[in-house]
Structures are given as structure tokens and as C-alpha cells.
């Protein structure tokens, strides 16, 4: 398996199993199938509400001798309600307990958005903190603390734009090592990718297939389909693989980690087999000029009339 490499030499398998939207009752088996298929990278988050089940699957895989802990790369994320300095370490300790691990390979700030303690999804102005209340530098200080304590080998962020990354870097003892964002041919994030590379920040692409299985309430009418896009289908036909495999291979060819989610055994296997798809320069050029621009996870659920945050707090202008 191809990997991407951190500055200290640690490696992260470039294809991982995403667990967002994997329901309890399904994610346990999905993780076991993935490990048996050869996945060595599992992406988790506290807000996915399934880390206990992921932990049970990891424990079984270790006890059955299918894989050793040191052979797996496990990522999780700090939720918005734990951004205060005093809340970061306890939040990670809860994740470690749920995952039945002593240490994460990578821990990320999930969003540059802050809720008050105990709030899962802020709905009213009183449930939000502002950057004045809880600066990102305070949250990052907590992330640096978990690294110093040995609770996470690497630390980074998710859904951060250039402005927010620069803010963190300016005040940091340890710079972010990863930025996980939505990325695919409809949203190549070239400006952000170039910035991160200039700062030695690795990148992970989420929703590489377009997140078609997310809640209807979070979709817009007439969304474009990545999997049904004619350019993607044409390249898939050329290589005799699925559209999903082309979209996963697209990130691999950009040297960007990618975390497709599935709870279907055949698709889990097929997604990992994307590593064998060899896209040529013409394929990549066609995908780079696909003619559609679209962000599936637009963050508007954090920026309503009751929120102190704006979409400009989240995204780059492409």
C-alpha cells in the first residue's frame, strides 16, 4: 500500500476506511472486513457516535491476531464542544477509552467552530462560543498538550482554510501536520493544496465519492453526481473499473490520502483495489477540467442566523 509520510518519517496508508455515517450495528463488521481486506488506516471521530463499536472491532482484530496495533493508523477528531483548553485532553481520553487504544496516530480539530460544553449541534446563539470566547490558538494549545502527553503521535485539523491555518501556525509550538477537507474533481482545492504543501502539511480527502448517502436535509435540490459524471464514467470504462475507483485513484495520484466510507464488503474490497488503478496524464487532465464545481458539505449547518460564524470562516475561494 502506498503511504504518505510525516516529517518524522511516520507513514499513513494513503487509502483508509471512513466511518462517517456508518451506523452502529454496521460499522463493527465494516471495520473487520476492512482490516481483513488489507486496510491499515481507519478514520474516526467522536461525533460519528460509533467509536465504541469501532473499538470493539479493533479489539477483536488484535485478539484474533489479524493485525497488530502498530500496523494500524487510527485517526480521530475533537468535536466542537470541546475546544476550550481544559476540555481537549479529557475529550481525547474519552475517544481513546471508546476505541480501546492507548494512543492515536493522528488527532484533528474537526471544525474551526466552537460550541459550549455539552452541546452536540448548536441551534441558538447562546450555544455557540465565538473566536473571542475560545480562540483557535487556545484549542491548538490543547492539541499540542495531547502530543506532549503521548496521547496522539500527530496532530492536525479538518475543514481549515488558509487564513485559519496561518493563525494556528503563527501561535504554534507544533505546526498542524494534516488538514482533512472535502476533495474530489468537483472540488480540487488547488489553492489550499498548494498552501499546505508549502507548509509541509499533509492532506486527506473526505467525501471523495460525493457523499450521496448523507441525510436528505443536508442536500440541495439537483445536486450533481460525481459517480454518474460522464467524464468519470468514460475514464472508468477505459480502465475497466468503477467510477468510485477512479475517484479514489484521483486522490492517490495527487499524493493525498483518501477515506471512502462503505459498510458493504464488496465495495470495501473494491475501494482498496483502487490503489492498482493507473491514471495517465490525460485522465488527470480530464478530471482537472471536469467542468463542474460543487461542494457537497457546505457547512451551512454551522452558519445560520443564530450563529456568530460565516462560511468565510470555513472555505477558500477557489
Q: Which residues are designated catalytic?
A: 48
Rounded Cα distance between 227 and 244, Å, is 6
Q: Assign 3-class secondary structure to the chain.
A: CCEEECCCCCEEECECEECCCCCCCCHHHHHHHHHHHCCCEEECCHHHCCHHHHHHHHHHHHHCCCCCHHHCEEEEEECHHHCCHHHHHHHHHHHHHHHCCCCEEEEEECCCCEECCCCCCCCCHHHEECCCCCCHHHHHHHHHHHHHCCCEEEEEEECCCHHHHHHHHHHCCCCCCEEEEECECCECCHHHHHHHHHCCCEEEEECCCCCCCCCHHHCCCCCCCCCCCHHHHHHHHHHCCCHHHHHHHHHHHCCCEECCECCCHHHHHHHHHHHHCCCCHHHHHHHHCCCCCCCCCCCHHHCCCCCCCCHHHCCCCC
Report residue 237 as a C-alpha cell: 470504462
Q: How far apart are the first and last CA of the chain?
A: 31
Residue 41 assigned ligand-binding role? no
Let me know if 87 is exposed, middle or buried by CB neighbors in 10 A (0-12, 13-18, 19+).
Answer: middle
Binding residues for substrate: 110
- Point out the annotated binding site: 110
Amino acid at each position: 500500500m502506498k503511504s504518505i509520510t510525516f516529517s518524522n518519517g511516520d507513514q499513513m496508508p494513503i487509502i483508509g476506511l471512513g466511518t462517517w455515517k456508518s451506523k452502529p450495528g454496521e460499522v463493527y463488521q465494516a471495520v473487520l472486513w476492512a482490516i481483513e481486506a488489507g486496510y491499515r488506516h481507519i478514520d474516526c471521530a467522536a461525533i460519528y457516535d460509533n467509536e465504541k463499536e469501532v473499538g470493539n472491532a479493533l479489539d477483536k482484530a488484535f485478539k484474533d491476531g489479524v493485525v497488530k496495533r502498530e500496523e494500524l493508523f487510527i485517526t480521530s477528531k475533537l468535536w466542537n464542544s470541546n475546544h476550550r483548553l481544559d476540555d481537549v485532553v479529557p475529550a481525547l481520553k474519552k475517544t481513546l477509552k471508546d476505541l480501546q487504544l492507548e494512543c492515536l496516530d493522528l488527532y484533528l480539530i474537526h471544525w474551526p467552530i466552537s460550541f459550549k460544553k455539552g452541546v452536540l449541534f448548536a441551534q441558538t446563539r447562546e450555544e455557540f462560543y465565538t473566536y473571542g470566547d475560545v480562540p483557535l490558538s487556545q484549542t491548538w494549545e490543547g492539541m499540542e498538550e495531547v502530543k506532549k502527553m503521548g496521547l496522539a503521535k500527530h496532530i492536525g485539523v479538518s475543514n481549515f482554510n488558509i487564513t485559519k491555518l496561518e493563525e494556528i501556525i503563527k501561535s504554534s509550538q507544533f505546526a498542524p501536520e494534516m488538514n482533512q477537507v472535502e476533495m474530489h474533481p468537483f472540488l480540487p482545492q488547488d489553492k489550499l493544496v498548494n498552501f499546505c504543501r508549502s507548509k509541509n502539511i499533509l492532506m486527506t480527502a473526505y467525501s471523495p465519492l460525493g457523499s450521496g448517502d448523507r441525510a436528505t436535509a443536508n442536500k440541495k435540490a439537483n445536486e450533481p453526481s460525481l459517480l454518474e459524471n460522464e467524464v468519470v464514467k468514460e475514464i472508468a470504462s477505459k480502465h475497466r473499473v468503477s467510477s468510485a475507483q477512479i475517484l479514489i485513484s484521483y486522490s492517490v495520484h495527487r499524493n493525498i490520502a483518501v477515506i471512502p466510507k462503505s459498510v458493504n464488503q464488496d465495495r470495501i474490497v473494491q475501494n482498496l483495489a483502487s490503489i492498482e488503478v493507473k491514471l495517465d496524464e490525460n485522465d488527470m487532465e480530464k478530471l482537472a477540467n471536469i467542468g463542474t464545481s460543487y461542494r457537497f458539505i457546505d457547512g451551512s449547518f454551522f452558519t445560520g442566523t443564530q450563529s456568530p460564524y460565516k462560511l468565510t470562516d470555513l472555505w477558500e475561494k477557489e
